[in-house]
Amino acid sequence: MYKTHTCGELRLTDDGKIVKLAGWVHRRRDHGGVTFIDLRDRFGLVQIVLNPEISPEAHQLAESIRMEWVIQVEGVVRKRPEGAENPNLSTGEIEVEVHKLNVLNPAKIPPFLINKDEEADENTRLKYRYLDLRREKMRNNIELRHRVVKFIRDYLDQRGFLEIETPILFKTTPEGARDYLVPSRVHPGEFYALPQSPQQLKQLLMVAGVERYFQIARCFRDEDQRGDRQPEFTQLDLEMSFVEREDVMNLIEDLFIQLVKEVVPQKRILKIPFPRLKYQEAMDRFGKDNPDLRFGMELVNISDLAQQSGFSVFDQAILNGGSVRGINAKGLGDYTRKQIDELTEFVKQFGAKGLAYIAYTSAGEIRSTFAKFLSPQLQQAIFDRMQAEKGDLLLFVADKVEIVYETLGRLRVFLAEKLNLLDPNVLAFCWVIDFPYVVWNEEEKRWDPSHHLFTSPMPEDIPLLDIDPGKARGQQYDLVLNNYEIGGGSIRIHDRQLQEKVFKLIGLDPDVARERFGHMLEAFEYGTPPHGGIAPGIDRICMILAGEPNIREVIAFPKNQAARDVMADAPSPVEEKQLEELHIRVVYPTDSQKS
RNA sequence: GGUCCCGUGGUGUAGCGGCCAAACAUGCGGCCCUGUCAAGGCCGAGAUCGCGGGUUCAAAUCCCGUCGGGACCGCCA
């Protein structure tokens, strides 16, 4: 054994013990006479002392040692001299007096500092990820992730769930995200696809009678990156038989309440039980189906008031079937014209033509883009409805309702960030339910499933599928946390006729449906229990719990925005021989196709 | 496919037409120092400012292009 103890565990009670320690040189303090080294391993830091009077050899050798060298020491645990304790260190009451020092492996000078939390260039961090992971923040994040997953496994195990692995090499499903394809060597011209999620397989496990299944499942989607999206990511994939919507929601809600209590006790859940918002309510109040409930500034509909104003921008919007809504940016009434212009630019990105406002300055003055249409009565009515006080800034968007939602929903979050209203220690979970079952795809002139095509409609809305599909609601539920959708699920269809009806509704050709999903349809005829499930995203959850701005910070070896692993430099070209075996010929894009 | 932002010693930043062959911190090298813990003191090395082109008497600084990175839109059932 290289070590008898870890660097984090020695205490005053170990005083006098002979120990062996091994780890990395975190810092070295050479006083000419005595030399101190903070020795680090994954479990902590401990100060080791090299005294020439104890061991001249060790002290001599320590001269040459540099940061991040891997060393081993043998020595005696000593209580530190009076006044030399370090209260910032859990091992700060003791130190290890070194009798023997062993260099296990020297280290080059690292490209960034391991012992400081100073930001380093992310590209460099990714290239030397193994060094980045030594740093305290990343070590904590990776450990947090372990705690989260461990908690989930234990929690579900105690409740009768089985963790079952499903294939990584599976079948393409072109209706979702773009698939990652894997060519078959033994079947020329045929391909596996990496799963976008184990959706079909977990449903088939329900047909198989598993009843309670989960998996910490890797999922793959070949779409462009975002801070909260990687080409491969991890879901808690879960499915249960003989359950209704409430059953799944209640289980998951309790799981997260307990998880927070155990893994991040310093964080506070805003509301228990989690608020449940109907989709329409979420849109009306927050403009998004993933609302951040940590702050107010809710949208207010003033279409009826705006109608009387005579302000043509408002009239036009309403005449075209749109609406006029606003938010009260509390305390921004003294914003300058320039600052408001900035907000206007912001909403224009998302399709708004402009931003109307009423600034009620702290001095009590009114400034407004539609001042001359603002009769005292109208102004009062708007102020009443929006609870405006001196010092407030009322911001309005008049447009098609989708654009109003989109722009005000984003503006609301944008302002909250600016105003520092987003407390990272508060966890505002909520459920969003009663989603529309299908949404009209204008481009393709067809109905698209708003969740996925195995989702069951609300039983009472099934007749609507024939007469007015847009009005039907799905048995879908999204779990939302602080402005992120962290999981979506639904009660599934377990009846072949209904499933075929849905395929037809969304314009899936029966032959194509049989080819792609024949195994599902057939399975449904062999005694399928009612079932449903959910798939919370582990990366996003860990990101929020760790207070990180993107999921790369909670993934050991993430890819960059261009979907590249910059450490190993993947993807990479392959040998011609490999391509031959796979019956593949590469056709490179020409310059004109590239641009 | 598109929009925006960034690119200065190893790292993080400053400089944003002449005062800059570039400043500060940290790291790195050397010397001094027996109780420090972000040790300290002294000395030193290290960037032609991502790359290419242009404007100008003069470019790290302005413009165009390009490469790299990031944020976002599209996309993500």
What is the DSSP annotation of A227-271?
A: TTB-SEEEEEEEEEES--HHHHHHHHHHHHHHHHHHH-TTSEES-
Is-contact A558 A230, C-beta < 8 A?
yes
Query: B65 C1' – A557 CA distance, angstroms?
Result: 34
Residue A230 lies inside a defined structural domain of this protein:
no
Q: Which domain holds residue A299?
A: 295-421
Find the nucleotide nearest A448 (Cα to C1′). B77
Looking at strand B, which nucleotides approach a protein CB closer than 7 A?
1-2, 10-13, 26-29, 32-40, 68-77
DSSP state of A456: P
Query: Is the CB of A363 less than 7 A from some atom of nucleic acid strand B?
Result: no
Residue A140 lies inside a defined structural domain of this protein:
no
DSSP state of A42: T
Q: In CATH, what number is assigned to the domain containing residue A53?
A: 2.40.50.140
Residue A97 lies inside a defined structural domain of this protein:
yes
Residue A4 lies inside a defined structural domain of this protein:
no
Among the three residues A83, A105, A127, which one is the final residue of a domain in this structure? A105
Rounded distance, CA A419 to CA A332, Å?
9
Q: In CATH, what number is assigned to the domain containing residue A310?
A: 3.30.1360.30
Find the nucleotide nearest A350 (Cα to C1′). B73
Average pLDDT over residues A452-474: 93
Q: Which residue is nearest to nucleotide B74 (CA to C1')?
A: A224
Query: Is the CB of A451 less than 7 A from some atom of nucleic acid strand B?
Result: yes
Residue A143 lies inside a defined structural domain of this protein:
no
Rounded distance, CA A253 to CA A234, Å?
19
Average pLDDT over residues A207-213: 97
**In A 173-192, which Cβ lie closer than 7 Å to strand B?**
173, 175-178
Among the three residues A51, A71, A105, which one is the final residue of a domain in this structure? A105
Residue A361 lies inside a defined structural domain of this protein:
yes
What was the ipTM of the complex prediction?
0.92
Residue A501 lies inside a defined structural domain of this protein:
no
Number of domains in chain A: 2
For residue A68, what are its two tokens?
Answer: 């991040």
Q: Which amino acid is at A297?
A: M
Residue A313 lies inside a defined structural domain of this protein:
yes
Percent of chain A with pLDDT over 90: 81
What is the DSSP annotation of A384-416?
A: HHHT--TTEEEEEEEE-HHHHHHHHHHHHHHHH
The overall average pLDDT reported for chain A is 93
Average pLDDT over residues A28-40: 94
Q: What is the pLDDT of residues A130-189, one digit of tens each?
A: 999 999 999 999 999 999 999 999 999 999 999 999 999 999 987 789 999 999 999 999
Among the three residues A421, A444, A464, which one is the final residue of a domain in this structure? A421
Rounded distance, CA A166 to CA A183, Å?
19
Comparing C-alpha atoms, which of A421, A423, A422, A416 is closest to residue A343?
A416
Query: Is the CB of A116 less than 7 A from some atom of nucleic acid strand B?
Result: yes
What's the pLDDT at A590? 67
With vertex at residue A75, the alpha carbon angle to CA A72 and CA A78, rounded to the nearest 5 degrees, is 130
